[in-house]
C-alpha cells in the first residue's frame, strides 16, 4: 500500500468512534499472527471464565487503574 493510501486509511480510521477503532485495531493485530489456534482460543476462554469466577466469588485480588499503571511502568523501567 502506497503512503498516500495509508494516510487516507489512517485518516478515515481516526474518524471512527472509540469502540470502532478498538475493533479495527483488534482485527488488524489478529491478522498479523497467522492462522488462529483453536486450542489457544479455548484456553483463553477457560482462563477468562476462571478469572470471572474469582471476581464473582470475592477471591480475586483486584487493583485499581492507578496501581496497575504504577506496576506496568515499573516493569517497563519507567518508574
Q: Show me where the domains of the chain are located.
A: 1-34, 36-79
What phi and psi values does residue 63 have, to the nearest 5 degrees?
-125, 155
pLDDT tens profile 1-43:
568 999 999 999 999 999 999 999 999 998 887 777 889 989 9
Whether the per-residue pLDDT at 46 is higher than 90: the answer is yes
- The pTM for the full model equals 0.46
Q: Calculate the alpha carbon distances from 21 to 32, 34, 38 in Å.
A: 17, 21, 25
3-class DSSP assignment, residue 62: coil
- Within the chain, strands assigned E span none
The H-assigned helical ranges of the chain are 3-14, 18-32, 38-57, 65-75
Amino acid at each position: 500500500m502506497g503512503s498516500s493510501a495509508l494516510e487516507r486509511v489512517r485518516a478515515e480510521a481516526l474518524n471512527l468512534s472509540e469502540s470502532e477503532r478498538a475493533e479495527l485495531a483488534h482485527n488488524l493485530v489478529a491478522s498479523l499472527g497467522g492462522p488462529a489456534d483453536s486450542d489457544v482460543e479455548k484456553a483463553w476462554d477457560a482462563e477468562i471464565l476462571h478469572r470471572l469466577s474469582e471476581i464473582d466469588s470475592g477471591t480475586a485480588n483486584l487493583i485499581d487503574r492507578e496501581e496497575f499503571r504504577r506496576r506496568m511502568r515499573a516493569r517497563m523501567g519507567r518508574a
